[in-house]
Structure 1
Amino acid sequence: MLRAVALFPLVALLAACSDDPPEPAPVETEIPEELQGVELPEIIAEDAGIGTPMEERVATIGLLNKRNNLSQDLELKPGEQRRVGDVIIRLRACERTAPWEFEKDEGGFVQVLVRERGTEDEFRRVFSGWLFKNKPSINVVEHPIYDVWVKSCAMEFPGEE
């Protein structure tokens, strides 16, 4: 008990020191001479992208109706949408990791709209975001009737066989 009483003033004194030390100023450095003459890679225009152009990619989206246990696959290109009963699935983008990357995954930016009960053509957006094949827990379509997930994204990269 004597030790705890002796340590209390020390702890209180340290807690009172709340001023953070100032951050050090950035140090300007120069590029070494042997690296100054290195050719840099060509800059690729933002809209050019790598691999299959966005409008030519095809995503396979799984749709499950939990009420009747019916599931179906929808093949969509970015910019397309499809209505199945009371749900509309829109695909905005589709991507997959390059073949030279270690962690393989495929995904798509998907929007899910569900028809409001008691209406003819009023839909409410229940999900808008990226869905990933190998990481379904990152983003989940939370709806009591419909489940939506990305099964694949068909695209190619330069040099891929």
Structure 2
Amino acid sequence: MALMALTACDSGEKRSSTGESLAAQGTAIVSADNAAETLPGTPMAQRIAVVGLLNKRNGQTRDLVMKPGQAQRVGDAVVRVRACEQTAPWENTPEVGAFVQLDVRSAGSGKWYRVFSGWLFRDRPERNVVEHPIYDVWVRECRMSWPETGPETIKSGVKAARGAGAASDTTAPNAAAPEPAENAAN
């Protein structure tokens, strides 16, 4: 009981797994907003998600084009996109996904209910399925861009880093070579 009382008095200070304050360890604490600014690619607010919506009763499909944070109402359904992502072009397995929420109005009570909230993936729909008798939702695309170079891109025409065997533009003055170690021992 005393432990629960102590945890309720949390100061809000971030702690490591050992309980030591991260600030005391000198670990930089970065907020999610600041971390998102440093990620490569199109900022989330500028991405465009294309989400398909199927009404199973009348067979009509619609492509809904939205930016993250936007929602569109179609009849008794509201589709909301919270985020969209795609893997970088240099990744081995291409993935396109979006965090989607589906709210549906009940015919009887007229109240809105959240029937789905989660990530949907274009090429792997079995990972997360929208289970609703009337509506189906799926991701068609996420329009965003990536930098032209990946983490292991080799640029042609760029000078190689100077290492142990690299030639130097400046030459050292002629210096006498050091004597071998065995001669120095005599």
TM-score for the superposition, normalised by structure 2? 0.60
Q: Which runs of structure 1 show a deviation greater than 2 angstroms over 4 or more consecutive aligned residues?
A: none
C-alpha distance after superposition, 1:48-76 (max 9, x if no partner): 12100000000000000000000010001
Alignment of 1:77 with 2:67, yes or no, is yes
**Percent identity of the aligned residues?**
55
Tell me the equivalent position of 2:43: 53
In the TM superposition, residue 117 of structure 1 has moved relative to its aligned partner by 1.7
In the TM superposition, residue 152 of structure 1 has moved relative to its aligned partner by 0.2
C-alpha distance after superposition, 1:28-67 (max 9, x if no partner): xxxxxxxxxxxxxxxxx51212100000000000000000
Tell me the equivalent position of 2:26: none
Task: Tell me, in whole angstroms, the C-alpha distance in 2 between the residues paired with 1:138 and 1:105.
Answer: 12
Q: Which is richer in strand?
A: 1
| Matched letter for residue 62 of structure 2 | Q
| Matched letter for residue 47 of structure 1 | A
C-alpha distance after superposition, 1:74-131 (max 9, x if no partner): 00100000100000001000000000001001000000000012234x2100000000
- Structure 1: 5+ residue stretches without partners: 1-44
Alignment of 1:117 with 2:136, yes or no, is no
Task: Tell me, in whole angstroms, the C-alpha distance in 1 between the residues paired with 2:36 and 2:51.
Answer: 25
Alignment of 1:141 with 2:130, yes or no, is yes
Aligned residues: 115
- Structure 2: 5+ residue stretches without partners: 1-33, 150-186
Tell me the equivalent position of 1:34: none
Query: Relative contact order (alpha carbons < 8 A, sep ≥ 6): 1 or 2 greater?
Result: 1
Tell me the equivalent position of 2:79: 89
Partner-residue secondary structure (3-state), 1:137: helix
Tell me the equivalent position of 1:31: none
Looking at CA atoms only, which structure, 1 or 2, has the larger radius of gyration? 2
